């Protein structure tokens, strides 16, 4: 399946990070208890450098199982992206229940609905070689919301393309 090219509009020309082809480094947003971290670190040559999550118990659990990983116990909306180490791969497990098919016509909680834009802010700074995001089919359907917080159906897909 070919994705719309407008979603790949980040400028990586000035990326000065010297990549080591023998080691792939990673960072994870909304790291949770460590399932993704465990799976990624199980790949030869891959090392998670940092994790970020707003939930104290989740990051504490993840850090317990992954010694040496830098932990950012922070809200994605307030964390300074410049404090994160540059990595080759960034993974985001963004909240999906505000834009999934299960909640398609319901009122949106804009604090959760806007996580994709915050993730974009980090990606612009980090400029990784690879970005993976869970729930991409749902993000592709994002639309602006009306004053009542409901998605404007006639504008489905415009949010992703606005980036």
Choice between 142 and 109, residue whose per-residue pLDDT is larger: 142
Number of domains in the chain: 1
Is 122 within a domain?
yes
* Calpha distance 42→133 (Å, rounded): 19
Is 9 within a domain?
no
* Dihedral sign computed on CA atoms, order 118, 81, 68, 25: positive
* Calpha distance 116→134 (Å, rounded): 11
Residue 125 has pLDDT above 70, yes or no: yes
- Residue pair 78/57 in contact (Cβ under 8 Å)? The answer is no
Model confidence, pTM: 0.71
- pLDDT grade, residue 7 (50/70/90)? very low
Is 46 within a domain?
yes
Residue 117 has pLDDT above 80, yes or no: no
- pLDDT grade, residue 3 (50/70/90)? very low
- pLDDT grade, residue 86 (50/70/90)? very high
Strand partners, 51: 28, 71
Is 16 within a domain?
no
Is 96 within a domain?
yes
Q: What is the pLDDT of residue 18?
A: 45
Q: Tell me what the mean pLDDT of segment 11-34 comes to.
A: 69
List the domain range (segments joined by +) for residue 53: 21-162
- Here the CATH number for the domain that contains residue 125 is 3.40.50.150
Q: Which residue bears the tokens 């359907």?
A: 141
Q: Tell me what the mean pLDDT of segment 30-43 comes to.
A: 84
* Calpha distance 137→26 (Å, rounded): 23
Is 10 within a domain?
no
- pLDDT grade, residue 89 (50/70/90)? very high
Q: What is the pLDDT of residue 10?
A: 44
């Amino acid at each position: 399946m070919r994705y719309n090219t407008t979603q790949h509009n980040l400028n990586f020309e000035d990326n000065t990070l010297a990549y080591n082809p023998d080691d792939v480094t990673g960072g994870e947003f909304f790291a949770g208890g460590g399932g993704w971290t465990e799976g990624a670190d199980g790949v030869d040559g891959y090392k998670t450098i940092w994790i970020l999550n707003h939930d104290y118990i989740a990051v504490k659990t993840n850090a317990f199982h992954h010694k040496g990983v830098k932990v950012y116990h922070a809200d994605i909306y307030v964390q300074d992206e410049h404090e994160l180490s540059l990595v080759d791969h960034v993974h985001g497990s963004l909240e999906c229940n505000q834009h999934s098919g299960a909640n398609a016509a319901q009122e949106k909680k804009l604090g959760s609905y806007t996580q994709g834009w915050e993730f974009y802010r980090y990606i612009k700074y980090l400029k990784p070689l690879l970005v993976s995001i869970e729930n991409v089919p749902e993000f592709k359907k994002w639309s602006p919301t009306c004053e009542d917080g409901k998605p404007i159906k006639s504008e489905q897909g415009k949010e992703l393309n606005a980036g």
